[in-house]
Structure 1
């Protein structure tokens, strides 16, 4: 199937303009294109946002009975499609369906002025689909003949974020192993990490799957039902089933990016001072200065290859079901043993002070 990187992420939202304003003002994205009925996209309107190698599509319905409106009514604003770069979209679609995936959109060819894009979609987990995207020609056109691209902005602004590192996905109890098996069979992913996390009376199980290219990574999480209900149970109840809990965006300099993002209005979760007092004893000397980590509330962990630095935003979602992560990898290929537990505890702190 030859899956490359994440091509783009599509969110279904109640108001694409409002969502774009926040992502541009706070995170530094730029609106680069738009599509709607006037461009041949009936019943909905989409905005294309870009920063570094990250492309985000925000789509809103124009009628109450459109599938996009039904998704938002069921789940609230959220990730609806994680698109994969492929060399042959029609072939990838056929292989995925043959291996057991549910077809969502048959292959469609979009072409204009020498640029051609072929897309096709299958269902992934919950109501989230995966779009196979095959590109020939000018990538800046994004979806030729459908997406109107604006003139290039002469002032690109500060590029703090470079690519999508991974997506964290909450699953109902009992779906973790079948979902791992599904991604292994249908998309050729491999399991690269697993962890059982206990925090007080709550617990959850997690496995990480990754594409052969190493450029698409999903952290899959399910609650443990014989323990006290916790954050994952809350997500599943408020979201209405499986979905993307957060997206992690890669930064080249996290201790520089965090203050810049905070200056634009991004609210990050705070980390107790004791975490940094115990850090050197737990992990040794980190690559970044402990005082810089303490000042920015950045967490650190490590695997066999190196260290990973991360911080999570507060959720501005009305249902508190989606937030962002900023991550900086210093050689680490996976996640340290404290990675997911740190997230779990950070979100618990936010709930305790809400």
Structure 2
């Protein structure tokens, strides 16, 4: 099965979008030490201090720091006591994404529309208020222990959400050009990809944008399969990966083993200048996967003319791919926590709508070299 944009299925012309989504509202990670994690994302990734919730705001159960860069908001949350659901999640999975929050105009309608189509409830419609207004929240479960929270904030004028106060710090390293969440990839178990593809199609009204099988995404040793689901306006894209049979343990299998279940594999964040962004990340200590330098000997034969000089891309290890709409530039960090689980992708789109199929083999061989070093291949 080849990488194709499913334009017929993806068309919503003449159809009502029962779950209109304006964009990604925030991503919440449960982490062992929220204060230190916030410092890391500020120092290494250029996020800025935004909001805080904890003992000082009357929150007795957990502490959360919110950091922001352009349209990207991350919540880093840690428990304040033992025996909490947040702590149990960290104990099982390590640091990882718990909430993918979606910005909607009507959280109650979003909840009831998805529930009547088969969603499992995480949070019934709830109103939270403070002196800055009110926010309506609701939520449903998705793969593993990951959840989607629907956020309706048209009647709120505060810094973030009720229960948070402005977090002001003297230490705010400069942003590095990250703009918004381009897509988020979920890893699911054997034979589960189509179940979750159907969930996003039937429960949330998404359409299948792309599909890759084990012939597309394979090396000599490992393979995986993936399908990309997109909402009506294309602002939310969720590739879903599952393992495929190979000679050795694939990256998805390794993730599932160490995360101890299904979850978010990586967050892809967009930039308008990947050379400047990746240079800044490297200078701040972020580690990236590297492909062999011979990749660059023939890459322009494959992708054609690009605006950028090849040499800086080669020096930084940035990959290039092209589809019918244009080309893209991308690079992947190594995992950002002790377990070989979640990582980040930095992506710059120059018209391309795809996900870098031409780079899969080189990329996954680079991942396999890391797996071999960890003894998990």
Q: Name the TM tier (shorter chain).
A: over 0.9
Which of the numbers 130, 136, 153 marks the counterpart of 2:154?
136
Show structure 1 runs of 5+ residues with no match. none
Number of corresponding residues: 353
Instruction: Indicate yes or no: 2:63 matched with 1:56.
Output: no
Partners of 1:36 and 1:311 lie apart in 2 by 35
- Residue matched to 1:16: 34
Q: What's the secondary structure of 1:228's corresponding residue?
A: coil
Partners of 1:285 and 1:253 lie apart in 2 by 17
- Residue matched to 2:127: 109
- Judge conservation of contact 1:173–1:225 (CA < 8 Å) in 2: no
Q: What's the secondary structure of 1:238's corresponding residue?
A: helix
C-alpha displacement of 1:287:
3.0
Flag the structure with more relative contact order, 1 or 2, with Cα contacts below 8 A and sequence separation at least 6: 2
C-alpha displacement of 1:188:
0.9
- Relative to the length of structure 2, the TM-score reads 0.89
- Judge conservation of contact 1:89–1:120 (CA < 8 Å) in 2: yes
C-alpha displacement of 1:340:
4.0
Q: What's the CA shift string for 1:204-238, capped at 9, x where partnerless?
A: 11100111121111111101136532211111111
Show structure 2 runs of 5+ residues with no match. 1-18
Instruction: Indicate yes or no: 2:116 matched with 1:98.
Output: yes
RMSD: 1.9
- Relative to the length of structure 1, the TM-score reads 0.94
CA 1:156–1:318 in structure 2 vs 1: closer, same or farther (change >3 Å)? closer
Partners of 1:317 and 1:152 lie apart in 2 by 25
CA 1:29–1:83 in structure 2 vs 1: closer, same or farther (change >3 Å)? same
Partners of 1:277 and 1:42 lie apart in 2 by 57
Q: What's the secondary structure of 2:90's corresponding residue?
A: helix
CA 1:5–1:343 in structure 2 vs 1: closer, same or farther (change >3 Å)? farther
Q: What's the CA shift string for 1:240-299, capped at 9, x where partnerless?
A: 111111111111100111111111111112221100001022222233221121011100
Query: Which 4+ residue blocks in structure 1 deviate beyond 4 angstroms?
Result: 137-140, 151-156
CA 1:226–1:154 in structure 2 vs 1: closer, same or farther (change >3 Å)? closer
Partners of 1:235 and 1:151 lie apart in 2 by 36
Partners of 1:316 and 1:307 lie apart in 2 by 27
Q: What's the secondary structure of 2:32's corresponding residue?
A: coil
- Residue matched to 2:218: 198
Instruction: Indicate yes or no: 2:202 matched with 1:185.
Output: yes
Aligned ranges for residues 1-354 of structure 1 at < 5 Å? 1-137=19-155, 141-144=159-162, 146-151=163-168, 157-196=174-213, 197-225=217-245, 227-353=247-373
Q: What's the secondary structure of 2:29's corresponding residue?
A: strand
